[in-house]
Amino acid sequence: MLPVKVAPLRWLVLCALLATMVSPVLAQGRDPLVEHLRKMTPEERVGQLFLVSFTGTDVSPTSQIYDLIANRHVGGVVLMAMNNNFVGENTTQAIYEMTSALQDIEAKATFAAEGTTPNVYVPLFIGISQEGGGAPNDQILSGLTPLPDQMAIGATWNRALAQGVGETMGKELSALGFNLYLGLSLDVQTLSNPAVNSDLNTRSFGGDPYWVSELGKAYVAGLHNGAGGRMLVIAKHFPGSGGANRPAAQEISTVRRSLDELKSVELQPFFAVTGGTADSNTQVDGLLVSHIRYQGFQGNIRATTRPISLDQQALAQILSLSPLADWRANGGLMVSDNLGTAAIRRFYDPDLRNFAARLVARDAFLAGNDLLYMGNIVSSDTTDTYTTVIRALEFFAQKYREDSAFASRVDESVYRILAAKYRLYGTFNQPVTPPSASGLAILGSGQGQVFEVARNAATLISPDAADLATVLPAPPGSFDRIVFISDSRIVRQCATCADIPVLNKTAFQLAVQRLYGPLGGGLITPSYLSSFTFDELHAMLNDKAPRPELADALNRATWVVISTLDMPEGSDSLAILRRFLTERQRLLSSKKVILFSFSAPFYLDATDISKLTAYYCLYSESEPFIDVAARLLFQEIAPAGALPVSVPGAGYDLISATSPDPNQIIRLSLNLPAPLATLTGDAMTPEPTLVPVFRVGDTISLRTGVIVDHNQRPVPDGTVVRFTFSQGESGLFQQVEVTTSQGVAIVAYRLDKPGLIEIRASSEPARVSDTIQLDVTTEGVSVVISTPTSEIVPTPTVTPTLPQLTPTPVSVPISSTMRGGYPTLLGWMLVVLMLLVGAGVSYWLGTQVVEPRWAVRWALLVFLGGILVYTYLVLDFPGASGWFTTRGLSSFLQAVLVGQAIGFVLGWVWRSSAESGNQADEQ
């Protein structure tokens, strides 16, 4: 037996010796990153702090970006569409080749040609801000899966969909060679009217901090999984820009909220993705610090108050908060927002005369930022970004040599940067291997996933779902004429690239034709569809339309479908839409006017919405979202999403919507030790059940079921639930308040006295729950759980009902005679019966006064007259709408009667003319 015991010991000793030989640095207890840092020159160290940009696609040895990487050793590059970094027909292939070439610059500058030991090699950050939703929030506009805006994900309230979109984003960007993602917005849109801050638009998951946190964690996990751990995720705009009083791009904005409010709202999502999560996969690698002032951290705000990104004391105060402090200590990166923005320039140089970029970079660095995102920054004493960055690098290197405190601060940040890059690649001893080119085959393959998001995000804003069937009893029919008016726009991948239409003029029409045209069931007649743009609508309103097609189409239309993009107050698009709804109100009152917003839902006010038959929001404008909009129009699917932000125009308040639904019954259950099952109201009968494991003096655990909000989703974490304990014999009455987690509240209660105890729960405004009766004795506890049997009377809603200008549909005696505004088979049979009766009566009258041959002619003219006028109205020729105001069967029967009368008169005139002619011939 002795050899069996000795062999494992020998193997352990041998393995220890091998480990010592292979990794002497680790065996001696040294940090390899510290050793790497020691080998770096001051220039190489300060270079790692800078994220730079460049113009064009030239990365050859004579280019400026080559010099910044090879000779100045900058830490990273950020690629942007505005700098024309993405050009060519095959955009994604060109991007892959560029990122590979950029990484190769540093490798070639560091490693000797013969493959000898390198000097100091540090891989390059290659960053991009690709947020989803297309231009202007996406940099790459073609070749990738057209992923949705974050608000579209927010409207689904679905963590799995958020993670799935994140995985697709991470997989595709990583395949292109990006390793730094500057894209996830964790802003909470807290303003009562979110349209005030048009910077965010749909770039946020919503206005509830809990759901922004949950969806943000899921998205981060997806990004990490999709990229295979080869991409850092930087969340923005820390510490939150959702409450900013104006867009931050042109001027430093302000968030006037107290410290407690900032902690409970703006900062909550950032806590969730840093120290507030046990799953490292849901943690972000860095935070991008916004150029915004925060009263809760900076006190009284003045024009001279620095933004948080440049305020050392305020930023340090935030980072000292316990959820962030541990994350920061474990290597979390702080990244400055773009230092080249107009807002920063105006803050430092209000007169635009003397702007020193190196001082801005210094202030941002000393404030606590590790990476300095320079953007397209240009000093007053230089003419381009390249020269500006070189002077800033030289300034930093000189200060490093002269100021030991500054040098220590640089080394601290560089160590964090090296640690982050080491996590990506695991070594600095060999050049980074670019991702395999075969990975490009997966690009753009996530359309099905986008459709799922679109289907689950589509939201009905007005009217209420209960009223929709009354306002729109049926979808468009084959005889309906539909006019599509779209806020079409043009974007370009680069300055010289071809136009890319956004919400193309005919996109909606083509989707309808594909789904419901001759090849899709024949529900519509393609020739009855027409499409126009807002520009054409504007020309018509100004009476400057070169052709009258739009005016004619509107006169004949039964449906008007309007598609919009972002429309902030003061925009041309919003002005055109309001003019149309106001100046053509009489024309539109007899039509069904449906508006689909392919952007944010909060741009229209109550007056605007009151002029619409129905108002939907899709949040994104890619093809799958247009496809879902077409299916909504034809009532093939029902809107499944719910608004993730407040919409004042529709009377929708997010705080009220996410509070507990008063019409639910809160389920209660008793947690029992294993192997006993949890007793719930669903499982229990009114008969008492003895639970011997609990006696007087024991503590029991009670829990609620999932408490849902008004949208039937779990209420946010932290929702207060009140448990009430009452005991009749002793007069005991006790209330205990706890808060929910994942929609469930749990409370512990000590059984102090014997007797019958009744337990209920409430969470305002939900006040009805199961009742648990505990008969506590020294032998055990008898348990009865009962559920209320009476129906809960729904609480009247405080949401105002918007007046609808669309007329109430006229009911007809036989409900099956009309569909989609046109007679059904039964209705057509009634029309034919009326035609035959009219012809028969005309024939009978004719035989009483004229010879039979004229009686037959008379009857035929009456029949044909009715047919012609009926057909004229059915085909909705010009002027036809003047015959009737509603599409009831009575209107069509009246039309037949008018046609018969015309035929009768024509027959009489024809007979009289013929008789006069015969008399003249006889004479």
Overall average pLDDT of the 476-492 stretch: 95
Average pLDDT, rounded, for the chain: 85
**596 compared with 548, residue with greater pLDDT:** 596
Point out the least confidently predicted range of 415-419, 641-645, 916-920: 916-920
Give the alpha-carbon dihedral of 215, 221, 227, 233, to 10 degrees.
Answer: 70
pLDDT-derived band of residue 601, with 50, 70 and 90 as boundaries?
very high
Cis peptide before 323 (omega within 30 of 0): no
Strands of the sheet with 286-289, listed across from one edge: 333-336, 286-289, 232-238, 180-185, 125-128, 76-78, 50-52, 372-375
pLDDT-derived band of residue 127, with 50, 70 and 90 as boundaries?
very high
Point out the least confidently predicted range of 71-75, 299-303, 727-731: 727-731
362-380 pLDDT, tens digit per residue, is 999 999 999 999 999 999 9
Give the chain's largest Cα–Cα span: 149
Nearest to 218 by CA among 161, 156, 148: 161
The pLDDT assigned to 276 comes to 62
458 contacts 632 by C-beta, under 8 angstroms: yes
The pLDDT assigned to 802 comes to 40
Count of beta carbons in the 10 Å neighbourhood of residue 680 = 17
The pLDDT assigned to 19 comes to 36
What lies within 8 Å, CB to CB, of 338 at 6+ separation is 344, 373, 374, 375
Q: Is the pLDDT of residue 525 over 60?
A: yes
**256 compared with 818, residue with greater pLDDT:** 256
Strands of the sheet with 781-786, listed across from one edge: 689-691, 781-786, 771-776, 755-762, 720-727, 732-739
534-583 pLDDT, tens digit per residue, is 999 999 999 877 778 999 999 999 999 999 999 988 899 999 999 999 99
Q: Which residue has the tokens 């946190």?
A: 213
Euclidean distance between the first and final Cα of the chain, in Å? 147
Point out the least confidently predicted range of 678-687, 734-743, 874-883: 678-687
The pLDDT assigned to 111 comes to 75
Q: Is the pLDDT of residue 444 over 70?
A: yes
In 551-708, the DSSP E strands lie at: 559-564, 592-597, 614-617, 668-671, 679-680, 689-691, 699-704
The pLDDT assigned to 317 comes to 93
Overall average pLDDT of the 119-133 stretch: 92
Q: Is the pLDDT of residue 604 over 70?
A: yes
d(CA 166, CA 284): 13
Residues making up the chain, counted from first to last: 923
d(CA 38, CA 775): 73
The pLDDT assigned to 880 comes to 53
d(CA 477, CA 821): 8
The pLDDT assigned to 199 comes to 72
d(CA 200, CA 123): 33
d(CA 168, CA 144): 10
157-169 pLDDT, tens digit per residue, is 999 999 999 999 9
28-53 pLDDT, tens digit per residue, is 347 889 999 999 999 999 999 999 99
What lies within 8 Å, CB to CB, of 791 at 6+ separation is none
pLDDT-derived band of residue 629, with 50, 70 and 90 as boundaries?
very high
Overall average pLDDT of the 676-698 stretch: 56
Q: Is the pLDDT of residue 316 over 90?
A: yes
262-291 pLDDT, tens digit per residue, is 999 999 999 999 986 667 899 999 999 999
The pLDDT assigned to 538 comes to 95
209 contacts 222 by C-beta, under 8 angstroms: no
The DSSP annotation for 5-64 comes to HHHHHHHHHHHHHHHHHH-HHHHTT--HHHHHHHTS-HHHHHHTTEEE--SSS--STTSH
Point out the least confidently predicted range of 48-57, 290-299, 477-486, 893-902: 893-902
224 contacts 273 by C-beta, under 8 angstroms: no
Overall average pLDDT of the 63-81 stretch: 96
pLDDT-derived band of residue 727, with 50, 70 and 90 as boundaries?
confident
